[in-house]
Copies of this chain bind each other. A is one copy, B any other.
Amino acid sequence: MVLNIRKTEMLPELAVFKEFIRSRGLRQTQERDTIVLEIFRNREHFDVDELFLRLLAQGKKISKASIYRTLPLLVDCGLIREVNYEDGHWHYEQIYGRPHHCHLRCSHCGAIVEFEEPLLAVIEKNLAQTYGYQITKHILEVHGCCPRCQPSPAAPNHEEHHV
């Protein structure tokens, strides 16, 4: 059976964004849509400068001010989130439609593994019982050395690592 995908089919993230804009009485603009579409073209983490340059490389000259004004909207409607503040600026990731996950990062090459950890629910329940908090969320980031960056058994040189 051939799937009949209409050309007008909209990226789900864009639909969510448009609905959010509407519900807040804000205005739908080309710039905002362009930013959303660019962010969701892939699943890589991103930062403001990178996003700005990606848009520019496609001839889409959207000011950084507009990007800085749009990102908080995307955070508010649950499409993206701040991952961390590193190298002097914020890094973001797409979260819409994805299960909650944590990051395992290689300190050497920066490789990132995303994982889901059921034990965190247990930890949250324990904390709620022990301290009476109503837990809303958690951020867990684990650091380590990935297999590729570890010294191989044959050549135990702890200095060399994959970059």
A residues sitting closer than 8 Å to B (CB atoms) are 84-85, 104, 106-107, 113, 115, 117, 119-120, 122-124, 126-128, 130-147, 150
Contact = CB atoms under 8 A, between A and B. Distances in A.
A104 B139 CA distance: 11
B107 A127 contact: no
24 contacts: A84-B85, A104-B131, A106-B133, A107-B136, A113-B127, A115-B127, A119-B119, A119-B122, A123-B140, A124-B142, A127-B142, A127-B144, A128-B144, A131-B147, A132-B146, A133-B146, A133-B147, A134-B145, A135-B144, A136-B144, A136-B145, A138-B141, A138-B142, A138-B143
Which of A104, A107, A124, A144 has most chain B Cβ within 10 Å?
A: A144
Contact of A135 (B130, B142, B147): B142
B140 A139 contact: yes
Query: Which 7 A-B pairs have CB atoms at the shortest separation, nearest pair first?
Result: A85-B85, A132-B147, A133-B144, A135-B144, A134-B145, A138-B142, A140-B140
A143 B150 CA distance: 34
Tell me the number of copies of this protein.
2
B104 A133 contact: yes
Contacts of A115: 127, 130-131
A147 to B, nearest CB: 4
A77 to B, nearest CB: 19
Contacts of A150: 132, 134
